[in-house]
A and B are shown apart, each in its own frame.
Chain A
């Protein structure tokens, strides 16, 4: 149920949704920009570039018309020794260039020119060259004064009219260019506005996503802490339950079975006396009595191991004095036990946990370290009690440490009594387990 609730609150889906929305926005904006750029390019190539090229051709035409005007001025200047026909090649050259310019210009002008404008320009140019031909024809037949008159009366006026028409087209082109420039500026403004909007939206999306992520993270950590607390509580309850169960079993074993076996022993002793010494029955009863005694001893040891009653009766220090040599003997390890500092009484409930930590640590030494020696130091310090178990074995930190339930229990016990447990590998090999409890948490004030 909790798992389901947690998965419902997972930010992944929302983040994915956000990502999709962001990508969609980027795509949409990119498409918008592409469309605008295409429009801009079209406007630039079709309008501005074409206009500019057209203007260049118009300038070329205007230049040719000016050359014609200058040539006609020279033709009317009678200081020139050559006949008017001398200008034929010059006019042919200009006509060639003018025709080429007009042709290019017409293609470039395209739709921007009205049919009337086209017609006027074409016809005016054609009429001009007709008049030029007539003038040269007159000159060729020796009628130079008539030809000059033709220039003065007709050609110069036509040239001026053409020049004016071309100037007007140039002005129109200029206006067109200004309009195109305005359109381009409009597009730029639009794109700029959209860009700001997009940037603002992106910024907002980033801020919202970040806030959402922070919130989700906080929730996640709070949940983790809660879970950890629950787990710790559970572990401690488990330990308490285990401890009370063990104490109960220990008492039962000690009190009930102890008394029963003690009674069985007394009864067997009495029965053996009645059977008479040296009789086979006496011998058998003696053996049964020894078995009962041995079982009683075992039960006492087991009871002591499950919950050392000694702790409650004699305190931690005495219990350790008894326990360490016992376990050393049983496990076959040389245990070097050192005490330091000024001893102070330890509360039984705390003593149980300290005892259990020691028990687990020594258990680990005997089972995993492979060491033949171990050092146990109990330090009574001014503000704390410290218990250190050190071995010079192969060490069990690492993988074993992560997997062992015993180690978890050691930590839980340490926490239960408000202390800390440090398990550190020694640089020279082996492991050091150090339990440190503040003095006020363990010191018994009962005495």
Chain B
């Protein structure tokens, strides 16, 4: 906390003391150890999502779009990518492209979309960033309605569309979330792509609430579509292994995907959130094949045995037990699913007990993230909410189209509390939220939040700690493992505080957060040791590392502070 903030806080506290007691509670600084500030404009982010909506009520209009924190120029500062839609053919009004913002390392960003060669019009939905060719620079996969695109990072600040040459061309779909992961642990990132339903403008179904006017259809109106798995051959091309890997499922209506090691066997598994269809947990069989074990794991259906409308998904060890927990956002009138592993591979929905269930009953959640927002050593849960139907208020009075994002603070003992209204910066202003990602763009050791909205602006919230909580950050680079170290697990031990994280792409909804790992340590000034399990099978351990620092760890080469 700088001097100005200190003076402001002290003055605020002083004024509160002489004012009426409720002022004490009205001051966010007095309740939470952090504060969010809307820095979107100050940072130079000027983005507006274009859904292309012209009144035709076409299904994809309601779902976009995603965002990502990525370090595209590998300078150690997180840059921002915002995915955009476009006008429908025959209804052209404006030009809209995705936008790439380079971090100026001073809290501001510069729009480098054109310079980077990305000012293309696409009906984009989500983004997955990963260094598939292990050249040290993250490449970008944009999921689209129609043909998704792969952009190879040249390492010189530009991208080249390699969709056709990589063998990804020719697959038309309504693609949503995607992630890079190395499922066969060969050191090369493979690509998983979610597809929603079989939709095209020509086959759009007429749905109506009043029998006269067209409205957006629910997914039941459309046939499901399979997700895709592309194996990285290592020569810049991909092989579609969907039909042979056990991933193929023509009934899926997938929106979100997260990687995890649910059975803790060291092989990456996948959890896919499906809309009105059972969720899928693809267990890695270590031979290039997967088996859906979602029913056995207790993740396919709600506790009532009903397939819910899964949207976003994230995985995190919110209990600090070493076993990953799971959050899945669902439709309004359906609670968020918060799952804890009762034993490896078996999950229990504890949303109601945790205080998240009732709080999410009237919200339609999309993006969701586990992040330690207050650096107290416990993973909290952020959720971007927003309905798909502008007229929902007319049908369900207590549900709005724009909905406040939620920030569930982990209270320990399995309890969470929504503190969005106290977080400041207008974070809880109702939005038609979709994408959600975190990244430490100002490198102050805590996690900042990026939210995208449907047919609206993106929001960047700076996070500021003022009770002295600190963190330790690790940026992993694989040598034998994939360069991004996706799939590496890191465990830290600091006195009685144990934490575990995995380097992961994907998660949330259509979005990707930064790859470096942040461990909140509260007021601890060091960690006793850190254990890194690389996807290659190598394990490394380092001892006595100072807190409030970021470390770069090169597989097999040691660790150095950044």
One of B226, B243, B249, B250 near A83 (C-beta < 8 A) = B243
Q: Are A70 and B295 in contact (CB under 8 A)?
A: no
B248 within 8 A of A: yes
0/1 interface trace, chain A 89-108, chain B, CB 8 Å (1 if under): 11001000100000000000
Would you give 13 A-B contacts (Cβ < 8 Å), ordered by A?
A67-B251, A74-B250, A80-B250, A82-B242, A83-B243, A86-B244, A87-B248, A87-B250, A89-B247, A89-B291, A90-B251, A93-B249, A97-B295
Residues of chain A touching chain B, judged by Cβ–Cβ distance below 8 Å, are 67, 70-71, 74, 80-83, 85-87, 89-90, 93, 97
Say how far B271's CB is from chain A's closest CB, in angstroms. 16
Q: Are B248 and A70 in contact (CB under 8 A)?
A: no
One of A74, A85, A97 near B243 (C-beta < 8 A) = A85
Tell me the nearest residue of chain B to A84, going by C-beta: B243
Say how far B277's CB is from chain A's closest CB, in angstroms. 10
- In the complex, A83→B242 CA distance in Å? 11
Residues of B within 8 A of A82 (CB): 226, 242-243, 248
- Which 9 residue pairs across A and B have the least CB separation, nearest first? A86-B243, A89-B246, A74-B250, A86-B248, A82-B243, A90-B249, A93-B292, A71-B250, A89-B248
Say how far B229's CB is from chain A's closest CB, in angstroms. 11
B223 within 8 A of A: yes
B114 within 8 A of A: no
Residues of A within 8 A of B248 (CB): 82, 86-87, 89-90
- In the complex, A186→B324 CA distance in Å? 54
* Additional pairs, 18, CB under 8 Å, beyond known A67-B251, A82-B242: A70-B250, A70-B251, A71-B250, A71-B251, A74-B223, A82-B243, A82-B248, A85-B243, A86-B244, A87-B250, A89-B246, A89-B247, A89-B248, A89-B291, A89-B292, A90-B248, A90-B251, A93-B292
Among the interface residues A80, A82, A87, which one has the most CB atoms of the partner chain B within 10 A?
A82
- In the complex, A80→B248 CA distance in Å? 12
Say how far B525's CB is from chain A's closest CB, in angstroms. 51
Known: A81-B171, A86-B248. A70 touches B223 (CB 8 A): yes
- In the complex, A43→B57 CA distance in Å? 53
- In the complex, A349→B291 CA distance in Å? 125
Residues of A within 8 A of B243 (CB): 82-83, 85-86
Tell me the nearest residue of chain B to A90, going by C-beta: B249
Tell me the nearest residue of chain A to B249, going by C-beta: A90
- In the complex, A87→B250 CA distance in Å? 8
0/1 interface trace, chain B 543-555, chain A, CB 8 Å (1 if under): 0000000000000
Interface residues of B in 204-261 (CB under 8 A from A): 223, 226, 242-244, 246-251
- In the complex, A319→B244 CA distance in Å? 141
Residues of A contacting B: mostly: helix
- In the complex, A86→B247 CA distance in Å? 9
Say how far B274's CB is from chain A's closest CB, in angstroms. 13
- In the complex, A85→B226 CA distance in Å? 14
Residues of A within 8 A of B171 (CB): 81
- In the complex, A87→B242 CA distance in Å? 10
Interface residues of B in 17-64 (CB under 8 A from A): none
One of A81, A85, A89 near B249 (C-beta < 8 A) = A89
Say how far A421's CB is from chain B's closest CB, in angstroms. 80
- In the complex, A89→B244 CA distance in Å? 9
Among the interface residues A86, A87, A97, which one has the most CB atoms of the partner chain B within 10 A?
A86
0/1 interface trace, chain B 162-180, chain A, CB 8 Å (1 if under): 0000000011000000000
- In the complex, A70→B253 CA distance in Å? 14
Tell me the nearest residue of chain B to A85, going by C-beta: B243
- In the complex, A71→B243 CA distance in Å? 14
- In the complex, A259→B171 CA distance in Å? 161
Say how far A122's CB is from chain B's closest CB, in angstroms. 23
Residues of A within 8 A of B246 (CB): 89
Say how far A375's CB is from chain B's closest CB, in angstroms. 81
Q: Are B295 and A86 in contact (CB under 8 A)?
A: no
Say how far A135's CB is from chain B's closest CB, in angstroms. 15
Residues of B within 8 A of A87 (CB): 248, 250
Residues of A within 8 A of B292 (CB): 89, 93
Q: Are B250 and A90 in contact (CB under 8 A)?
A: yes
Tell me the nearest residue of chain A to B252, going by C-beta: A90
- In the complex, A82→B248 CA distance in Å? 9
- In the complex, A89→B295 CA distance in Å? 15
Residues of B within 8 A of A93 (CB): 249, 292
- In the complex, A80→B243 CA distance in Å? 11
Say how far B79's CB is from chain A's closest CB, in angstroms. 35
Residues of A within 8 A of B249 (CB): 89-90, 93
Residues of B within 8 A of A70 (CB): 223, 250-251
Residues of B within 8 A of A74 (CB): 223, 250
Q: Are A86 and B223 in contact (CB under 8 A)?
A: no
Residues of B within 8 A of A90 (CB): 248-251
- In the complex, A81→B292 CA distance in Å? 22
Tell me the nearest residue of chain B to A74, going by C-beta: B250
Among the interface residues B244, B246, B250, B292, which one has the most CB atoms of the partner chain A within 10 A?
B250
Tell me the nearest residue of chain A to B243, going by C-beta: A86
Say how far B246's CB is from chain A's closest CB, in angstroms. 4
Interface residues of B in 279-311 (CB under 8 A from A): 291-292, 295
- In the complex, A71→B244 CA distance in Å? 17
- In the complex, A137→B376 CA distance in Å? 58
Residues of A within 8 A of B242 (CB): 82, 86
- In the complex, A67→B278 CA distance in Å? 12
- In the complex, A72→B295 CA distance in Å? 22
Say how far B75's CB is from chain A's closest CB, in angstroms. 41
Residues of B within 8 A of A89 (CB): 246-249, 291-292
Residues of B within 8 A of A80 (CB): 250
- In the complex, A80→B240 CA distance in Å? 14
- In the complex, A67→B307 CA distance in Å? 14
- In the complex, A86→B226 CA distance in Å? 10
Say how far B311's CB is from chain A's closest CB, in angstroms. 22
Say how far A183's CB is from chain B's closest CB, in angstroms. 28
Tell me the nearest residue of chain A to B246, going by C-beta: A89
Residues of A within 8 A of B226 (CB): 82, 86
Tell me the nearest residue of chain A to B282, going by C-beta: A89
Say how far B171's CB is from chain A's closest CB, in angstroms. 7
Say how far A117's CB is from chain B's closest CB, in angstroms. 26
Say how far B32's CB is from chain A's closest CB, in angstroms. 45
Say how far A142's CB is from chain B's closest CB, in angstroms. 14
- In the complex, A124→B545 CA distance in Å? 66
Say how far A129's CB is from chain B's closest CB, in angstroms. 19
Say how far A69's CB is from chain B's closest CB, in angstroms. 11
Say how far B239's CB is from chain A's closest CB, in angstroms. 13
Say how far A397's CB is from chain B's closest CB, in angstroms. 72
Residues of B within 8 A of A81 (CB): 170-171
Interface residues of B in 467-507 (CB under 8 A from A): none
- In the complex, A80→B291 CA distance in Å? 22
Residues of B within 8 A of A86 (CB): 226, 242-244, 248
Tell me the nearest residue of chain B to A75, going by C-beta: B250
Residues of B within 8 A of A85 (CB): 243
Residues of B within 8 A of A71 (CB): 250-251
Tell me the nearest residue of chain A to B247, going by C-beta: A89
Say how far A97's CB is from chain B's closest CB, in angstroms. 7
Among the interface residues B223, B251, B292, which one has the most CB atoms of the partner chain A within 10 A?
B251
Among the interface residues A70, A74, A87, A89, which one has the most CB atoms of the partner chain B within 10 A?
A89
- In the complex, A161→B251 CA distance in Å? 22
Tell me the nearest residue of chain B to A56, going by C-beta: B305
- In the complex, A418→B251 CA distance in Å? 112
Say how far A245's CB is from chain B's closest CB, in angstroms. 101
- In the complex, A97→B249 CA distance in Å? 15
Say how far A167's CB is from chain B's closest CB, in angstroms. 20
Residues of A within 8 A of B247 (CB): 89
- In the complex, A82→B247 CA distance in Å? 12
Say how far A61's CB is from chain B's closest CB, in angstroms. 14
Say how far B224's CB is from chain A's closest CB, in angstroms. 8
Say how far B512's CB is from chain A's closest CB, in angstroms. 27
Say how far B516's CB is from chain A's closest CB, in angstroms. 36
